[in-house]
Chain A
Amino acid sequence: MASVSIQCISKDYGQTPVLRSVSLSIADGEFLTLLGPSGCGKSTLLRILAGLEVQDVGSISIGGRVVDGVRPKRRDIAMVFQSYALYPHMSVAANMALPLRMYRLSAFQRLPFLGRLLRGAAQITADIDMEVSRTANSLGIGHLLSRKPGQLSGGQRQRVAVGRAMVRHPAVFLLDEPLSNLDAKLRVQMRAEIKELHRRLGGTFVYVTHDQAEAMTLSDRVAVMLDGELLQVAPPQGIYSDPANRRVAEFIGSPKINMIDVVVRERGLIDVAGATLAIDSDIPTGTPLSLGIRPEALCLADHPGQGILTGSVRMVEHMGSDLFVHLDLAGADQPLIARLLAERASRIAPGQRLHLGVRADRVLLFTRDGQRLRREADLVCRCVTPLREVAG
């Protein structure tokens, strides 16, 4: 087990900067997720951590030891790849045993046929076989040891890849989008298994994904990366409810956060698409702002009023327990998306006029250049219970 320290890592591919001065500390035994869209540099950072790529600037320490220039096999790490990267010509058992054979047997002891005759080789090989079999059993793939990877399903291959990493008992596990090649159902199941694995092994896990659900459910902390920059590192709930800036707010959450450009009309009051919202803030009159409202921060209101947004329904998406209502607001170029409970809003139809209240504690304020305004916006919530839809 070991902590990981990443200090001011930068990396360019030719003229293209991939990582820009990324610094991050990962505690011993922590599950940290690097979250970001494709091409944001998260996989590159993971490969630099593994020693598979070399940074242009900066330094990496694992367990307090600076590992810059140390070869991958000497870093005491194991990695699970998106493509699993199993050796197709070897059986599952041979795939899992290979790292142990390389670390524990000498070059002579690894020789085919002859190697087994050398002193100690038979005992070490037997130990390796036992450990492989124990690890495979703990992952539920004990019965597949003699098969080749080509004969396994996606989920089974994934387990073999995890097993190959586990069997070495590394200080740090690196996982590069390990679930993205699985179907949706299996992904949820494997997600739970990886969480359980982390609990059981207690190692330091660095997990790379573009899937918010994975990041949110698995991690102790999430590091959000965009365009080679580390934007925010925080526990999952913090990332969602208290984003550092507009880019994080827009990246996290599905459907995307509603962003409405507003202007402070006078101290404490802002105009939003025809409605007036009260904010407890001393932002000067005339300041242009962006207002971020999560879809679930909107709720049905039964009549118009101060702080109530009114518009016509453009589209309704049924998601089972919830439904997403797209609302055209007067003066707004983007429709507002609200997440409403299906049982309370089942009769909403396109074309209908709808009034929506805004939950005060969930509204986020940003400057126009995307910086978060930390001062709490105290918007008046006008949700009514029981909620009734308003006929247009």
Chain B
Amino acid sequence: MSATTSGSMSTLAGIFRHAVLLLTGALLLFPFLWMVSLSLKAPGEIFHTSFFWPAQFYGIENYGKALTEAPLLRYLFNGFVVCALILALQVVLCAPCAYALAKLRFLGRDLIFAVVLAGLIMPHQVLSLPLFIIGYKFDILNTYTALILPYAVSPFGIFLFRQFFKTIPDDVVHAARLDGLSELAIVWKVMMPMSLPAIIAFSIFSVVGHWNDLFWPLIAVRDQSLMPPPLGILAFKNEEAGSDYGPLMAASTLVMLPLIIAFLVGQRWFVEGLIQGAVKQ
């Protein structure tokens, strides 16, 4: 009797859980679906009541327009270059800093870590004006360097790696020192391969953040050939599309596509990485 009651209780709880999950999932998915749906509709249909499914399939025209009337591929290429270089620089610079903060003992270490934490709290937008002035003084505005350099050091990256490195036993570092590895070699040959989950998690945050960034590129570059995707779309909207939302949504969909594909491909490693980090090896 009681077993049946608890069984039906857990079924009810399960239904409730799934209902909440489905609802929040739908809320998150809704704007994306709408975007995709708009990208397939004819101009006259966009503000009509038929919600998702287009009455007249206008996809080829919209996507064709998005690809031909704006240098969308160039924007995507810029996005790839900027995101890849930012991520590479961040990993190269953050990992040794994080190692020093996690595993070395030196005067002022805790103070430096406190400064890193302060950097974590501060929004990047606060730095825009000083960065703009520095960029102007060094004459790097309107170049890839202007898009990349301000993000080369990430307080979040240092913090994340430092927390992960702290979970790696000191004995492993000691063993590596005895095996003849230098401190930098320990970072690249021992700590980083052991921190794959942290690297993957950080890469996702970094790439998504910088792929979608609009604020700093808007300040740093004017030249259309340097614009990353969101800025490009903004320019596209102003100059070409006007109120022509179909091609605009098609362009947005194309811009989102690489991230979605990257996540789907990397999903397996991402989830595995999270599990590996959580379960004692």
Contact = CB atoms under 8 A, between A and B. Distances in A.
Nearest to A176: B171
A64 B190 CA distance: 33
B169 A88 contact: no
A87 interface: yes
B127 to A, nearest CB: 37
A72 B174 CA distance: 9
A90 B179 CA distance: 14
Which of the listed residues B171, B172, B178 has the most CB atoms from chain A within 10 Å of its own CB?
Answer: B178
Given A88-B194, A88-B281, A89-B193, A102 B174 contact: no
Contacts of B181: 98, 102
A211 to B, nearest CB: 19
Interface stretch (A73-81, A199-207, A272-280, A338-346): A73-81
B44 interface: no
Interface in A89-135: 89-90, 98-99, 102-103
B111 to A, nearest CB: 18
A188 interface: no
Contacts of A77: 178
A83 interface: yes
Contacts of A52: 174, 177-178
Contacts of B177: 52, 71-73
B180 A85 contact: no
A150 B193 CA distance: 14
A46 to B, nearest CB: 11
Contacts of A353: none
A47 interface: yes
A61 interface: no
A85 B172 contact: yes
A83 B281 CA distance: 12
Interface string A146-157: 000010000000
Contact of B174 (A71, A79, A87, A164): A79
Interface string A253-281: 00000000000000000000000000000
A85 B178 CA distance: 11
Contacts of B193: 87, 89-90
Question: What range describes how many residues of A lie at the interface?
Answer: 20 to 34
B281 A85 contact: no
Contacts of A99: 178-180
B172 A87 contact: yes
Interface string A11-51: 00000000000000000000000000000000000010010
A241 interface: no
Contacts of A59: none
A82 interface: yes
B133 to A, nearest CB: 41
Contact of A73 (B171, B172, B180, B281): B180
A79 B175 contact: yes
Contact of A87 (B180, B190, B196): B190
Nearest to A97: B179
B180 A50 contact: no
B178 A73 contact: yes
Contacts of B196: 89
Given A88-B281, A89-B193, A81 B171 contact: yes
A83 B175 CA distance: 11
A330 to B, nearest CB: 52
A98 B172 CA distance: 13
A164 B177 CA distance: 13
Interface string B80-95: 0000000000000000
A28 to B, nearest CB: 21
A247 B171 CA distance: 31
B243 to A, nearest CB: 54
A246 to B, nearest CB: 35
A183 to B, nearest CB: 18
B171 A72 contact: no
A164 B178 CA distance: 11
Contacts of B180: 73, 99, 102-103
A164 B167 CA distance: 23
13 contacts: A72-B178, A73-B177, A73-B178, A83-B169, A83-B171, A85-B171, A85-B174, A87-B172, A90-B193, A98-B181, A99-B178, A103-B180, A164-B175
Smallest CB-CB A-B distances: 7 pairs: A102-B180, A85-B175, A85-B171, A89-B193, A99-B179, A73-B180, A81-B171
Given A50-B178, A78-B178, 16 more contacts: A47-B174, A73-B177, A79-B175, A81-B171, A81-B174, A83-B169, A86-B175, A87-B176, A87-B194, A89-B193, A89-B196, A99-B178, A99-B180, A102-B179, A102-B181, A102-B185
Interface of B: 169, 171-172, 174-181, 185, 190, 193-194, 196, 281
Interface of A: 47, 50, 52, 71-73, 77-79, 81-83, 85-90, 98-99, 102-103, 150, 164
